[in-house]
Amino acid sequence: MSKTISELSPTQIWKNFTALNAIPRASKKETAVIKFIMDYGKSLNLQTQKDEVGNVIIKKPATAGMEDRQVVCLQSHLDMVHQKNADTDFDFATQGINMFIEDDWVKAKGTTLGADNGIGVAAIMAILAADNIPHPAIEALFTIDEETGMTGALGLKGGLLDAAILLNLDTEDDDELTIGCAGGIDVSAEGKYELENTPQGFEGFTITVSGLTGGHSGMDIYKGRANANKVMNRILLNASVKFDLRVSAIDGGGLRNAIPRESVATIALPGNKSGELLLFIKEQEQFIKNENRSTDASLKIGIEKTTTPLLLMNTAAQYALLRTIAACPNGIYRMSPEIEGLVQTSNNIARVIVKDGVFTIMCLTRGSVDSEKMELANTICYNFELAGAKPSFGGSYPGWAPNPGAPFVKLMSNLYKEMFTAEAHVNAVHAGLECGIIGKNYPSMQMISFGPNIRGAHSPDEKVQVSSVQKFWKYLLETLKRIPSKN
């Protein structure tokens, strides 16, 4: 195995990925990476443009002998999920990703890696720069803000692309051809509550839920992993009934598309109950660890004494909020009755904040069937309203209806079998892909998504397999050779 990332094969991909990962590129903060990719296209003397919302389109003519083939759009998104372990000292705004090689995998030190979707971006960059890769006319589409609303795809206007085929390089299993995806909608709630002075004789504690596996709130939701917000709420609710525990603050979860891994709460309770609380937390930890031993083996629930908070959430608001979160659907809501193994509808309670008289709850509701997705979203809103919260919707995007009989799907399925002597898994996924959105303005475009093996996306456990990148690259190059003619 090579000692540095840029020496891995294929070197053109890994060099690009290394350069890309030196640039901070959080969703909605892509100014630097947009400039990076714009400069890259211009340095190759290719037609390069930025649209109204910040997507970058780079066009490259067909190589000799392939001028009569259909135009292909190669598409990946520039942003990445910024997540790190609580004990990792890292500033995403100023630092590049610290990568290392372990066996057949490339990983990051305590943070997300950005292989989602940086490997796709790096592969497209390699094709744009190459002078020895046969291909039809290429339209490279680099979208922004895929991870937190898909606003790049939503803002892409019709008429900018001429491609008849779109290859989305954002799938995370190298034996899968993705031909459909779920839509999604952000469901949020905010409410205010009165603060009360902490009673005399109360003591303060910090409760921490940590070490959960987390992961992608769409792709990994079927795995039944624990949600830190749900775990914390369970502890607080049970303890409030048993010990007159009072909440001062809660800070749990992060991005909507990541299953929450950590939560911290500041609480207070009568000093004569502190010993019982410590025993209760240990007991609860054992119960919850046992329930999640196969999915979240490193789960920890800790408690430490802290300065007693001066103000607490009033008892009526606390009663309503903790029960509302307990009642809020989380995880799988319904499996598809038509496609075996496919999650049809789900919800992720992604963020819970309680502080200074205001509470906020943020969810991401996904669904392959739009009417059912909205029914679940409305149900969650009704639940929030019972706690006196004001619910709202945002960031809605459509799903992508699968068409397994499309000519190009058959072409790529047959090519996979020819190259790897195995059947590709042609499927739909319970995650948002930009294909469904792009397809609204380009309805005649045939689309398919594929990519290398990526594990732990949206978490600090993210890693990409070196040998799988090599397989993906060979398949991509052969696909470009097989693009059919325009007639």
Q: What pLDDT is stored for residue 31 in this prediction?
A: 97
Cα 100 to Cα 219: distance, rounded to the nearest angstrom: 25
Q: What is the pLDDT of residues 127-149, one digit of tens each?
A: 999 999 999 999 999 999 999 88
| CA 126 from centroid of its chain's CA atoms | 25
pLDDT band at 1, cuts 50/70/90? very low
CA distances from 127 to 119, 123, 266, 408, 459 (A): 13, 6, 52, 21, 29
Q: What pLDDT is stored for residue 14 in this prediction?
A: 98
**Residues whose CB falls within 8 Å of the CB of residue 145, separated by 6 or more in sequence, listed in order:** 27, 28, 30, 54, 77, 79, 151, 152
Query: In the CATH hierarchy, which top-level class contains the domain 5-181+400-481?
Result: alpha beta
What tokens appear for 33 in the block? 């990476």
Q: What pLDDT is stored for residue 64 in this prediction?
A: 97
| CA 390 from centroid of its chain's CA atoms | 26
Helix intervals (H) in 340-406 = 370-386
**Residues whose CB falls within 8 Å of the CB of residue 450, separated by 6 or more in sequence, listed in order:** 167, 168, 169, 171, 174, 176, 177, 178, 412, 472, 475, 476
Q: What is the pLDDT of residues 299-337, one digit of tens each?
A: 999 999 999 999 999 999 999 999 999 999 999 999 988
Percent of the chain with pLDDT over 90: 90
More confident residue, 140 or 386: 140
Cα 124 to Cα 25: distance, rounded to the nearest angstrom: 17
What tokens appear for 224 in the block? 């039944």
Verify whether residue 385 is a known catalytic residue.
no
Q: What is the pLDDT of residues 257-272, one digit of tens each?
A: 899 999 999 999 999 9
| CA 37 from centroid of its chain's CA atoms | 22
Residue of 116, 139, 146, 296 marked active site:
146
Verify whether residue 461 is a known catalytic residue.
no
DSSP class of residue 222 equals G
Asked whether 112 and 82 are in contact (CB, 8 A), the reply is: yes
Q: What are the structural domain ranges in the chain?
A: 5-181+400-481, 185-397
- φ and ψ at residue 11, rounded to 5 degrees: -60, -30
Give yes or no for residue 487 having a pLDDT over 80: no
| CA 468 from centroid of its chain's CA atoms | 21
Asked whether 266 and 306 are in contact (CB, 8 A), the reply is: yes
Candidate from 20-24, 296-300, 434-438 with smallest mean pLDDT: 434-438
Asked whether 257 and 217 are in contact (CB, 8 A), the reply is: yes
Give yes or no for residue 2 having a pLDDT over 50: no
Task: Please give the average per-residue pLDDT across 213-221, as a whole number.
Answer: 93
pLDDT band at 86, cuts 50/70/90? confident
For residue 223, give the nearest of 273, 262, 259, 263 by alpha carbon.
259
Beta bridge partners of 426: 177
Asked whether 334 and 360 are in contact (CB, 8 A), the reply is: no
Q: Please, how many CA atoms are within 13 Å of residue 194, restricted to the half-sphere of its CB?
A: 5
**Residues whose CB falls within 8 Å of the CB of residue 200, separated by 6 or more in sequence, listed in order:** none
Asked whether 295 and 213 are in contact (CB, 8 A), the reply is: yes
Residue of 79, 145, 147, 462 marked active site:
79
Q: Rounded to two decimals, what is the model's pTM?
A: 0.74
Q: Residue for token digits 């679940």?
A: 376
Fold for domain 185-397?
Alpha-Beta Plaits (3.30.70)
Beta bridge partners of 203: 269
Task: Please give the average per-residue pLDDT across 281-307, as a whole number.
Answer: 97
DSSP for 287-328 reads HHHHHTTTT-TT-EEEEEEEPPPSEEE-HHHHHHHHHHHHHS
Task: Please give the average per-residue pLDDT across 77-83, as a whole number.
Answer: 95
